[in-house]
Each structure stands twice: as structure tokens, then as C-alpha cells.
């Protein structure tokens, strides 16, 4: 749970409370000022993820903050006012300069460790790859050689492979 010390509305120190008659009795941070009424719900953030298919291969990218050899799907946060389909098309364009030709929902997956809800798509992309500054490099991988990990976007990748009849085994972490 994300911890805050002060109310973002009125700046009073937050307290923890559990209401057994509401909210399932969960302990939540809240403002003690009844006129303010702020409750920190700590809802998961919606994240979009893309299995980007480009010229028959899957594009994996390495974030500048990641160790060498660690590659993953294109991901990003939804922005206010956009649909998940618009969000993933924007993320693919921002991070790779590729256009989303078709966008197909794979599924929705929980990523509890990061308090995220991943909305995953298969995106057939076209154009010329040019990475954003947040990405250092990319790889184009044959679909049958992909190795999904057990958490986060790996569940979506495994599902996509299973639907296509591709053999796979989960690895413990991305990049293995």
C-alpha cells in the first residue's frame, strides 16, 4: 500500500481506519476531518502493454534504467481521456515511432507487486523503428523463441503464445 503522511486535500495528518460496515473492513488511510472526507483507496493503476508484431517478429525493448540483456514488451500508463486502444497506439508510437495497424485485446492481468492492472494487446505495427530516449535498444524475436515470465506482462505473452499453438515455458524473470 502506498503510504501518505498528509491529506492531499487539506494537509491534515492522515490516520488509518477500518470500517467493518463499508469497504469490506479494509484498513485505509483517511483524513480525520469529516468535512474533508478524503480516503486513500490505493486503486491499481491501469497500464497498457503491447505485443508488437513487426514484419512477422515480436519487438522487445530495453529500458535505459534496466540491466543489459533485460528486454520486455512496450508498456505505459493510460492518460486522461483516452481509451486503452488509443493508449496502446500512443505508447507504441511514442516509444518506437511505429504505427499501430491493428490492435487486438489479449486480456487483463493483475500485477499485484506493482499495484497495476495490465490491459494487454497484440499490435501489428508498421513504419520505421526509431526508439524514444527512454529505450536503449530493441530486438526482433521470432514468436516461437519468446520466453514469458510468470508475472506482469508475461501472463499476457504466455496467453498470446498459447492461442497460437506456440510452445513455451515460463522463466522466473524477464530477460532470461
Could you report the per-residue pLDDT of 115-156, keeping only the tens digit for each? 999 999 999 999 999 999 999 999 999 999 999 988 889 999
Domain boundaries of the chain, sorted by first residue: 1-42, 45-163
Contact between 14 and 6 under an 8 Å Cβ cutoff? The reply is yes
Q: CA-CA distance, 120 to 103, in Å (whole number)?
A: 10
Entry pTM: 0.86
Q: CA-CA distance, 116 to 176, in Å (whole number)?
A: 23
What length is written for the chain?
176
pLDDT at 8 over 70: yes
Give the CA angle between residues 124, 135, 86 to the nearest 5°: 40
Residue 4: the pLDDT is 83
Tell which CATH classification among 2.20.70, 2.70.98, 1.10.10, 3.30.70 matches the domain 1-42: 2.20.70
pLDDT 10s digits, 30-84: 999 989 989 888 899 999 999 999 999 999 999 999 999 889 999 999 999 999 9
Contact between 100 and 92 under an 8 Å Cβ cutoff? The reply is yes
Within the chain, how many helices (H) and strands (E) appear? Answer: 2, 9
pLDDT 10s digits, 81-120: 999 999 999 999 999 999 999 999 999 999 988 899 999 9
Nearest to 159 by CA among 88, 107, 118: 107
The domain defined by 45-163 carries CATH number 3.90.79.10: yes
Residue 2: the pLDDT is 63
Q: CA-CA distance, 134 to 130, in Å (whole number)?
A: 12
For 142, counting Cβ atoms within 10 Å of its Cβ (0-12 exposed, 13-18 middle, 19+ buried), the class is exposed
Amino acid at each position: 500500500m502506498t503510504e501518505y503522511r498528509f491529506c492531499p486535500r487539506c494537509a491534515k495528518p492522515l490516520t488509518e481506519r477500518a470500517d467493518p460496515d463499508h469497504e469490506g473492513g479494509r484498513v485505509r488511510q483517511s483524513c480525520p476531518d469529516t468535512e474533508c472526507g478524503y480516503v486513500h483507496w490505493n486503486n491499481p493503476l491501469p497500464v497498457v502493454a503491447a505485443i508488437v508484431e513487426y514484419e512477422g517478429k515480436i519487438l522487445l525493448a530495453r529500458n535505459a534504467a534496466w540491466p543489459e540483456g533485460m528486454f520486455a514488451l512496450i508498456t505505459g500508463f493510460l492518460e486522461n481521456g483516452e481509451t486503452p486502444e488509443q493508449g496502446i497506439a500512443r505508447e507504441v508510437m511514442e516509444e518506437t515511432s511505429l504505427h499501430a495497424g491493428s490492435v487486438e485485446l489479449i486480456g487483463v492481468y493483475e500485477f499485484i507487486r506493482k499495484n497495476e492492472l495490465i490491459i494487454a494487446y497484440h499490435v501489428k505495427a508498421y513504419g520505421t523503428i526509431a526508439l524514444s530516449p527512454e529505450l536503449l535498444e530493441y530486438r526482433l524475436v521470432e514468436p516461437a523463441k519468446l520466453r514469458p515470465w510468470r508475472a506482469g506482462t508475461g501472463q499476457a505473452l504466455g496467453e498470446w503464445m498459447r492461442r497460437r499453438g506456440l510452445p513455451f515455458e515460463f522463466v522466473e524473470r524477464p530477460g532470461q
